[in-house]
Amino acid sequence: MKTLIETNPYLQNKEQAKMLNARSARTSCGVEGIVASIRSSSTAEINTSRSDAVLDRMRKRLSKS
């Protein structure tokens, strides 16, 4: 059986795969409300405004059913 990297055309290019995986991790963290704790001079910031909007729409749909 082939791996996901072998079958997914978006993951064939290593640079693009790295960028897409990083974006996926950031958006997943935003949806889950995960905040990174970094102990260096740099800070991590995740904009969850879009995630919050999606969550609100999901709650509205669920309340109707």
Euclidean distance between CA atoms 6 and 59, whole angstroms: 37
Q: Answer yes or no: is pLDDT of 62 > 80.
A: yes
pLDDT the model gives residue 55: 81
Q: Is residue 55 part of a domain?
A: yes
Euclidean distance between CA atoms 44 and 26, whole angstroms: 10
Domain boundaries, position 21: 8-64
Kindly tell me the sign of the dihedral angle through the C-alpha atoms of 26, 30, 31, 34: positive
User: Per-residue pLDDT tens for 16-54?
Assistant: 888 888 888 888 877 777 766 655 545 556 666 677 788
pLDDT the model gives residue 11: 83
CB atoms within 10 A of CB 64: 6
Q: Is residue 31 part of a domain?
A: yes
Euclidean distance between CA atoms 31 and 51, whole angstroms: 5
What is the domain count for the chain?
1
pLDDT the model gives residue 27: 83
